């Protein structure tokens, strides 16, 4: 990449309506497609859609949603955020994204990962005791399939392949990344299989991820392979002013953080945690200039090729859509000016 790209990510989280009630899944998906159209119109570079299998998220099949987005957009690149590779079949992942690549005239990208939740494992009949081997073997197979050459592969998690071709082929290949939450082993694995590194920075200061980027580059040097691109992704929301942005986000952030804590055994959020995540951590919430300056600090700290803004906070869709407009029309131009 010759210059830094700017994208958006969404997990397809269910939004509240005007009365605070959950919006039905079908409407959330339609709203998400409208979000991508606005992102394309504002000149953003990438739109990523996550995969989940639980009631508080609407998207379980990102490729279907991305295909619908492809039919209504012209230039923005389209990918997953992430495809839960451990509980999927790499052959089908390749086939679906190769089809999306054709539909979108070469705009498809794969961001493979283990996912933030584990619901897909029992849903598709996988044992969590096989967590490591599932991802290792399937990533190796996906890497081979992306060459679009005959593949011979043998493992323990699916049927073996012998000199196997998969279709459709693509015109220029598919850009592929691995979403990593901060494990050194995952960073080295990503380098070994030749994927781009997509770091999910969802808590704490961005500076703590600098060693992972250095490790990724060092691993590629030691493996004597070409350097692959690096991206980061962090949550946030842009409003007209700092005060308005915090007012919009606070209650939903608190409810989501409390629920996730109960599920994962975290301590409940303390007074001041929300403000600290905005001022010192990974939450990009504020007016356009505040968010732009924080993104600039991150880009000056981390050597990356793309910054993705995870915009789907648990707030009404109108606030999300306005955030996208401000991000594309004001924040990104400010960031480019400040960096230049």
pLDDT over 70 for what percent of the chain? 99
pLDDT tens, position by position, 157-170: 999 999 999 999 99
| Statement: residue 109 has pLDDT above 80 | yes
Number of separate domains in the chain: 1
* Confidence band, pLDDT 50/70/90 cuts, at residue 116: confident
Q: For tokens 């679906």, what's the residue?
A: 96
How far CA 277 is from CA of 35, 254, 258, 320, in Å, comes to 25, 12, 15, 19
pLDDT of residue 2: 57
Pairing relationship of beta strands 161-164 and 151-153 according to DSSP bridges? antiparallel
What tokens does 95 get?
A: 């086939």
Expressed as residue numbers, the domain containing 54 is 5-339
The dihedral over CA atoms of 228, 229, 230, 235, expressed in degrees to the nearest 10, equals: -140
Q: What are phi and psi of 217, to 5 degrees?
A: -65, -40
* Rg, the chain, Cα only: 19
Mean local confidence (pLDDT), 114-130: 93
Quick one: 278 exposed, middle or buried, by C-beta within 10 A (0-12, 13-18, 19+)? Answer: buried
Q: By C-alpha distance, which of 111, 12, 15, 32 is closest to 73? A: 32
Mean local confidence (pLDDT), 238-261: 93
* Confidence band, pLDDT 50/70/90 cuts, at residue 1: very low
Residue 186's domain is classified under what CATH number?
3.20.20.30
In sequence order, the 6+-apart residues with CB closer than 8 A to the CB of 37 are 69, 72, 73
| Statement: residue 261 has pLDDT above 90 | no
Using an 8 Å Cβ cutoff, are 295 and 335 in contact?
A: yes
Mean local confidence (pLDDT), 102-130: 95
Mean local confidence (pLDDT), 28-57: 97
Q: Is the dihedral of CA 216, 222, 223, 226 positive or negative?
A: positive
pLDDT tens, position by position, 188-246: 999 999 999 999 999 999 999 999 999 999 999 999 999 999 999 999 999 999 999 99
Mean local confidence (pLDDT), 287-303: 97
């Amino acid at each position: 990449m010759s210059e830094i790209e700017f994208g958006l990510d969404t997990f397809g989280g269910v939004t509240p309506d005007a009365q605070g009630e959950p919006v039905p899944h079908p409407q959330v998906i339609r709203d998400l497609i409208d979000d991508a159209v606005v992102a394309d119109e504002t000149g953003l570079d990438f739109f990523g859609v996550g995969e989940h299998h639980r009631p508080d998220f609407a998207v379980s099949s990102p490729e279907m949603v991305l295909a619908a987005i492809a039919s209504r957009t012209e230039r923005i690149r389209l990918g997953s955020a992430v495809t839960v590779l451990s509980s999927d079949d790499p052959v089908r992942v390749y086939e679906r994204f190769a089809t999306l690549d054709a539909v979108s005239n070469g705009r498809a990208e794969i961001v493979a990962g283990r996912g933030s939740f584990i619901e897909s494992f029992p849903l598709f009949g996988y044992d969590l005791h096989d967590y490591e081997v599932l991802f290792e073997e399937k990533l190796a197979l996906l890497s081979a399939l992306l060459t679009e050459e005959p593949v011979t592969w043998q493992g323990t998690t699916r049927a073996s392949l012998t000199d196997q071709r998969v279709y459709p082929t693509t015109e220029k290949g598919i850009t592929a990344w691995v979403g990593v939450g901060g494990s050194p082993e995952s960073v080295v694995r990503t380098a070994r299989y030749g994927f781009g590194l997509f770091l999910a920075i969802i808590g704490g200061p961005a500076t703590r991820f600098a060693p992972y980027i250095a490790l990724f580059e060092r691993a590629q040097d030691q493996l004597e392979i070409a350097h692959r691109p690096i991206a980061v992704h962090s949550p946030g929301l842009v409003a007209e002013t700092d005060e308005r942005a915090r007012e919009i986000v606070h209650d939903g952030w608190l409810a989501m953080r409390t629920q996730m804590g109960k599920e994962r055994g975290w301590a409940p959020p303390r007074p001041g945690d929300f403000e600290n995540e905005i001022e010192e951590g990974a939450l990009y919430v504020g007016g356009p200039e505040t968010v732009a300056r924080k993104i600039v600090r991150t880009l000056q700290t981390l050597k990356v090729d793309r910054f993705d803004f995870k915009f789907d906070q648990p707030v009404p869709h109108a606030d999300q859509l306005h955030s996208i407009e401000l991000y594309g029309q004001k924040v990104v131009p400010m960031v480019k000016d400040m960096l230049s």
